[in-house]
Structure 1
Amino acid sequence: MTSPLTALALPAAGTPSIADMLRTGREYYRRGEIKPAIAVFQAGLALAATTSIGVVVDGVADLHAALANAFMLCDDIGSAAENYKAALRIAPHLVACWCNLGIVHQRTGMIQDAISLYLEALRRNPGHRPSRTNLVQALTATRQFAIARTLLLELIEETPDDADLRSQLGKVCFELGETGEAVAQFEQAVALAPGQAENFYWVGAIRQARGEQEEAEAAYAHAAQVHPILRRQATQSPPAFRALALFAPFVGNTPVEYLFRDCAYQTSILSLLSGCRPDIALLAREADIVVNLVSDADQGTEVLPLALAIARGLGKPVVNDPEKIRSTTRDATALALADVEGCRVPRTVRIAAGEGLPDGFELAFPLLARQAGMHGGDVFEKLEDAAALVSFLAAHADHDRYMIDYIDYRSADGFFRKYRFLFVGEEILPYHLAIGDDWKLHRDATEMGAHAWMQAEEEHFLRAPEQVFSPRHTAALRVIRDRIGLDYFGIDCGLDPDGRLVVFEVNASMLVHDQNPEFPYKDPYIRRIKVAFDGMLARIARGI
């Protein structure tokens, strides 16, 4: 087998020059022969080390840049970064190197540093398109949506038929609350690139969020007809394994936008719509594991049997078995956990739609009441007397409702604290702490961004949960994990004045995301959850 170095086209004197090596290495690179290209580039740098530096400055910078590009294709990010930096020390005018070094930082989670590098590239060449498009992605990742929109509008003005830019603008507009414009951008993206399935589903999702039920149903039906399965490719080829996710529009699903991002495995998402009759044999041939995302037992009453039938029919390992999800209504969970030692699980009674207070039910006020299937504090009230309860039940008589015993979990300093853990296989991982002065705590509605002491307390909980929750609490959490029996789910809980674990909510619908620019200390702990999730899927897919 011929070595890359012996294949060099030699000049008359018989000694390859740095220019020869750069040219030959680039030829290997263009043919996709990356390892031989790396060998040639490295040999060129070794030759340059023996040559007068004043003669080969430009060539050395180009060799470092080319070598960095090759390392990027091999996912050797560290070596790529070293060579981009080396190239820029010699030739800071290499705009592409500033941009590519920004990509390296972005891929390693150092997004603010990436933004600085993209801006440096644009300072040197304001029209450099790769730096502008990558800057948009970094700004979006750090939730700087207004700036991202401005830059996207400039790019689209230059190339109005770019479907990817339209899609990105749609996402940014959605985040800014401009849902009408978001739909318009996604519909243009659909028209420009009908092969891109994700845009079809975004139209349905946004129309659903706008309360346009009929339009949303039509959009989802059209999406499912054109693209029955939404596929996301793995970050490696071949993929480590293939996951088929079962998703149900219009009902609660496990949020996986973050969990399914940048995966070594391929994800295929099947939408379970009315009349869905998938080809089970076809699906079975392209899936190693089934991930059931239908997570809300109240909202998913009608669709969970379909998810169960598909999961069973595929004959593959199943994550979050739909049958187990059906047992996670608030009243069923309260009953299942009622006798867990060291826990306080509020009594929870379900009242069917159209019905009133059950006869003989002993009321103790204050009492909590909420509509079944609601999350995030919606249609959820603390009631002080029977009249208020009767009024609440009547106002929401078209739906099932829950009555829940109120437990005062206020801490000694007068603040309420709600902790969230994620159960990922055998692991119990902290996700966040919400601190506020009202019993109804929702993390995004707190004032934690304005109080350093609250952030410090949350960081301490994330770093050392065992210093907040005792071994007795941890034992209770393990019992809860075993009784719920799901592979992936969350718990919102607190600690009462006597130190007992107060269970608020246990289900697979809890949000995990990495959009926390105000709270960067959370990032490593959130990444830990994703690593655990990916590892769990890999073990189940391989039958370990």
Structure 2
Amino acid sequence: MHQLLSSQPDDQAAFSSAVSQASALMGAGHYQEAIDLLLSWSDAVRRHPAACSTLAFLMLQTGKTQEAVNWFEAAMVVSPGDPQVIRGLGQACHANGEFERALSCYAMILASGQGDKVDLTYRRALLLADMKRFDEALEGFGAVLALDPQHALAEGKRIELLKARGDMDGAIAAASESCKTRPKNAACWIRLGTLLQHCNQNAAALLAYDRGLTLAPDDFTALYNKALALRDLDRPEEALFCAQQALRLDGSDREVLLLCGSIEQMLGNVEAAKICFRQVAAMGAARHYPAATQPAKLHALMLFSPVGGNTPYEDLIKGAPFDADLFVVIPGYSHDPAKLDIGADIIVNLVAEPDRGLDTIDATREMVDLLSLPVVNHPTLIAGTNRESIAELLADLPNAVMPVTKKVMPADLVAAVRRSEAPPLPVIVRQSGFHGGEMMELVADADTLVAFAGEAGDQSLYLTHYVDYSSKDGHFRKYRFIFVGGEILPYHLAIGDVWKVHHASTRMAEIEWMRHEEEDFLNHPERYFGERQMAVLAEIQRRVGLDYFGIDCGLDHDGNVVIFEVNATMLIHLRNKGFEYKDPHVYAIKRAFERMLQARVEQSRAAS
């Protein structure tokens, strides 16, 4: 074919034929072939307005953003002032990261009064959101809705932006308004349910999901999220029915299989739960978390057991600079080594609760042994972190109070009480494998102790000597530090009126001085834990030997560190509404975790 279009009729006919062929290729979805054909007539295309614009849009559609910009510029030469070309150039510049230029393009057309005002206003708002000019973007989406109240995309983006900015009340109000505007639209109700569920308003979320499911009975997202809400409302039978409905729609969805398994487990259907979990394990990675920015600094293989206790990891790795793949560990199931060979640089073991079954720890160790990679929180070390073992490990720690802790079976405890061999009272008794104050009481008499043991069934118990750690003002203070590699970082201070202190159950949200004290502790931990106390924490870190774990502790009147709990199941999170001063310290822990992974990978590479 000729590269130039001459004045000869045959050349004009050939070019027209090429343009027609390109149009047919586009219609059939063969975009690259259409591009190649038009490029073979590139000089002629540059002089033909429609062909030049078509090639530019083809480049944009196939993700060739810089080429799209170049061809739209060429189209501007032959079609100056064409609103479609200017709009296309704006889209191409936006996609290519030339935000200011894209904004100028949209402003030019809007000022001229040409083009589709609704579409241009919407695209401008999208651009402003990507430029992080969020207030202007919200105004822009509002302007679109003022022009076209039924503009579903603008409505959705506005709600999405409100949510991303943390304005959940605004997002919920906007979603509620969309349900009033379009009451027959299932997507509006389902979106409202999702927002309510995000705010733990599960009962209200259920009402929204039910309205959505009335309109779209087979909506997978609504069924799955409704099952989650029912589970969280402690309605497991209904939750399982709903999850199984979702599973019938997509039997290979890993998340719904994990949900079905977790609910079966709640209901005591252990074998049914394991069937679900094995199905997920057989699929390879259960979840993939891409790095926030690419290329990723490293690739982590994370081991998680749905039948055991795990290190809470979601907020720990959210927005991280590394890729991560989550694999499920199930006792009795052996992974195919080929499926584990995903090019990972490091293993992060999340299985962290030895009281949920040493067989799970053993299965995790078997998986670790399949791969020659550095391991964070090796399963062998996790096996020694049950409460009784930790109490023995730290019993002789100077400047610390490690309450004696013993593990017993309920029947043995009842027999001991009947023989008048009960432990000294009062005593803290708890069911093994539970954290966060669940299944735990301070017992002052033998009858109550026997009753607690009776309710435990076959679940083993821990008996812990009670230490009065109240401060001089009568309040109880529980400090949490997180150990990451060689660092010791403060996470929170919970101040309560009673001995059982958990941050979420205190009155700190209502009492300003308590929040000020926690903020001061986080910013200046040395004011509370001096050299003597920090030396205690450093020795705990050395003896325990884990790469990542936490401690809950107090201080007695003599300044000794009173140790409550030391393990790798400690929670850190970014849901700190009303306690926003905590966020920088969560991020400090996240960054320390990332540094630790990077250092371990570099050490491994240097040694190989």
Deviation of 1:406 (Å):
1.8
| Partner Cα separation in structure 2 for residue 133 and residue 541 of structure 1 | 43
If the length of structure 1 is used for normalisation, what is the TM-score?
0.82
For 1:229, what is the secondary structure of its paired residue?
coil
Unpaired segments ≥5 residues, structure 2: 1-65
The alignment status of 1:34 with 2:34, answered yes or no, reads no
The aligned counterpart of 1:413 is 473
Q: Where in structure 1 are there 5+ consecutive unaligned residues?
A: none
Report the AA paired with residue 203 of structure 1. C
Q: Is the 8 A contact 1:289 1:317 kept in 2?
A: yes
d(CA) in 2 for partners of 1:93 and 1:463? 49
Residue 143 in 1 paired to residue 200 in 2?
A: yes
Aligned counterparts, 1:114-129, within 5 A: 114-116=171-173, 118=175
2:72 equivalent to 1:16: no
Q: Per chain length, whose mean CA-contact separation is higher, i.e. which structure has more relative contact order (CA < 8 Å, sep 6+)?
A: 1
Q: Is the aligned partner of 1:375 residue 2:435? A: yes
Question: How big is the alpha-carbon RMSD for the aligned residues of Structure 1 and Structure 2?
Answer: 4.0
What's 1:431 paired with?
A: 491
Summarize the Cα distance change of 1:126–1:85 in structure 2 as closer, same or farther, 3 Å threshold: farther
Q: Which residue number in structure 2 is paired with residue 507 of structure 1?
A: 567
Aligned to 2:286: 230
- Deviation of residue 278 (structure 1)? 0.9
Q: In the aligned structure 1, how far is the partner of 2:71 from the partner of 2:275?
A: 63
Higher helix share: 2
Q: Which residue of 2 aligns with 1:78?
A: 132
Change (3 A) 1:398 1:125: closer
* Deviation by residue 1:240-286 (Cα, 9 ceiling, x = unmatched): 54332222233222223443555554433322223211122431234
Query: Which residue, out of 315, 328, 353, partners 2:385?
Result: 328
Q: Give secondary structure in 1 for the equivalent of 2:354.
A: coil
- What percent of counterpart residues are identical? 32
- 1:282 matched residue in structure 2: 339
1:243 corresponds to: 300
Matching residue's letter, 1:231: R
Which residue is equivalent to 1:189? 246
The worse-fitting range, judged by mean Cα deviation, of 482-491 and 84-93 is: 84-93
Confirm or deny that 1:107 pairs with 2:167.
Answer: no
Q: What TM-score does the superposition give when structure 2 sets the normalisation length? A: 0.74
Is contact 1:4-1:40 (8 Å) kept? Answer: no
Where does 1:327-406 land on structure 2 (aligned, <5 Å)?
327-351=384-408, 364-384=424-444, 398=458, 400-406=460-466
The aligned counterpart of 1:422 is 482
Matched letter for residue 529 of structure 2: F
- The alpha carbon displacement at 1:230 in A equals 0.7
Greater mean alpha carbon deviation, residues 366-375 or residues 383-392: 383-392
- Of 251-260 and 325-334, deviating more is 251-260
- Determine whether 1:177 maps to 2:234: yes
1:325 CA drift (Å):
0.7
Q: Which has the larger radius of gyration?
A: 2
CA, structure 1 residues 4+534, in 2 after alignment: closer, same or farther (shift >3 Å)? same
Per the alignment, do residues 385 and 423 of structure 1 end up closer, same or farther by CA in structure 2, a change over 3 Å counting?
same
Greater shift, 462-471 or 172-181, is seen at 462-471
Cα–Cα, structure 1 residues 263 and 194, in superposed 2: closer, same or farther, change >3 Å?
farther
Output the amino acid matched with 2:536. Answer: A
DSSP 3-state at the match of 2:218: coil
Q: Does residue 1:4 correspond to 2:69, yes or no?
A: yes
Contact 1:495 1:502 in 2 (8 A): yes
Instruction: Please state whether the residue corresponding to 1:492 is helix, strand or coil.
Output: strand
1:507 offset after TM fit, Å? 0.3
Counterpart contact for 2:189–2:211, Cα < 8 Å: no
- Alpha-carbon separation, structure 1, partners of 2:581 and 2:442: 33
Moved more, 215-224 or 506-515: 215-224
Within 2, Cα distance between the matches of 1:388 and 1:133? Answer: 47
CA distance in 1, matches of 2:71, 2:598: 43
2: CA distance between counterparts of 1:388 and 1:328? Answer: 28
Partner residue, 1:481: 541
Distance 1:79 1:450, change over 3 A: closer
Indicate how the Cα distance of structure 1 residues 210 and 44 shifts in structure 2: closer, same or farther if over 3 A, else same: same
How much does 1:209 deviate?
2.2
Amino acid at match of 1:416: F
Judge which range, 321-330 or 268-277, deviates more. Answer: 268-277
Give the equivalent residue in structure 2 for 1:498.
Answer: 558
Cα separation, partners in 2 of 1:410 and 1:39, compared to 1, 3 Å:
closer
Per-residue deviation at 1:68? 4.9
Q: 1:341 to 1:183 in 2, by over 3 A?
A: same
